[in-house]
């Protein structure tokens, strides 16, 4: 991979056109001698359809940043705007609903519910969002076909291969057509071919659905498959580089 390094853009006051806008995000855990400053003034903009990898050593703040962007944790300082909406200023939106209906989460472990079939696992987020009947069933069928696991729809997780389980997990994460997809080490347990297949599926989704995808990984095999690479060090963004797909 070759890339042209660029410094992070200056904070932008207007959120229009961004899936994610973060200004000065900081996160502190503990107090006194046990105080840990996990994030130190993160400025980040991500547009719909962008596909970014976040890399860095353990303890650099990658996963903490993902939990803030995914509305799992609240920042100690800073501003966060998702889809043009201020998250912590003024009257906050319904964060649980946003996580459930507008965001998709993918992890290293598929975390499928073992007593549900592949189809039922993908159907679950639709049911939780109140989408039922023919609309929900059609959506699930489309996703299973899209990820080439329709013939495995009636199988339980322990009857699926690791790659099949991960595809079901991705289908489940995409069931509600999320605007933002956050993935934490989703390819760590996969071989090269399966890892690249997962990332290429996510890239295809980001293009076709204009979804912003942020993927935390240590996996350098994936670098040529994304738009930009963010390097984190000591709770800060050290660099942000555009990827040259021709290299």
Encoded tokens for 83: 């889809």
Domain residue spans of the chain? 49-72+94-243
Instruction: Give the right CATH number for 49-72+94-243 from 1.10.3330.10, 2.40.340.10, 3.40.50.300, 3.40.1010.10.
Output: 3.40.50.300
Residue 93 pLDDT: 79
Q: Where would I find the beta strands (DSSP E) of the chain?
A: 3-6, 20-29, 36-46, 51-55, 77-82, 85-86, 103-107, 180-184, 212-216, 228-233, 236-243
Residue 180 pLDDT: 94
Order of strands across the sheet with 20-29? 36-46, 20-29, 77-82, 85-86
Cα angle, residue 61 at apex, residues 196 and 32 outer, rounded to 5°: 160
Residue 42 pLDDT: 96
Give the H or E element holding residue 201.
Answer: helix 192-209
Taking only Cα atoms into account, the Rg of the chain, rounded to an integer number of angstroms, comes to 18
Check residue 152 and report its DSSP letter.
G
pTM assigned to the model? 0.84
Write the burial class of residue 115 (CB in 10 Å: 0-12 exposed, 13-18 middle, 19+ buried). exposed
Q: CA torsion angle for 233, 38, 63, 242 (degrees, to 10)?
A: -30
Give the chain's residues under pLDDT 70: 1-16, 90-91, 245-247
Residue 107 pLDDT: 86
Q: By the 8 A CB rule, do 122 and 186 touch?
A: no
CB atoms within 10 A of CB 18: 20
């Amino acid at each position: 991979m070759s890339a042209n390094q660029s410094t992070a853009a200056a904070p932008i006051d207007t959120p229009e056109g961004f899936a994610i806008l973060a200004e000065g995000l900081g996160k502190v855990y503990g107090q006194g001698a046990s105080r840990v400053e996990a994030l130190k003034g993160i400025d980040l903009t991500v547009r719909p359809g962008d596909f970014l990898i976040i890399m860095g050593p353990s303890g650099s703040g990658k996963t903490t940043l993902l939990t803030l962007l995914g509305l799992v944790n609240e920042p100690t300082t800073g501003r966060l705007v998702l889809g043009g909406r201020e998250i912590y200023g003024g009257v906050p939106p319904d964060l649980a609903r946003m996580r459930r209906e507008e965001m998709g989460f993918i992890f290293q472990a598929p975390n499928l519910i073992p007593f549900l079939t592949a189809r039922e696992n993908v159907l679950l987020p639709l049911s939780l969002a109140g989408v039922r009947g023919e609309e929900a069933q059609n959506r699930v069928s489309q996703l299973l076909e899209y990820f080439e696991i329709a013939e495995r729809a009636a199988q339980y997780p322990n009857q699926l291969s690791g790659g099949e389980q991960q595809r079901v997990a991705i289908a489940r994460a995409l069931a509600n057509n999320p605007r933002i997809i956050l993935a934490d080490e989703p390819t760590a347990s996969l071989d090269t071919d399966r890892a690249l297949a997962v990332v290429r599926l996510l890239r295809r989704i980001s293009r076709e659905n204009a979804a912003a995808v942020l993927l935390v990984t240590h996996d350098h095999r994936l670098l040529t498959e994304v738009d930009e690479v963010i390097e984190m060090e000591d709770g800060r963004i050290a660099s942000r580089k555009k990827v040259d797909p021709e290299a």
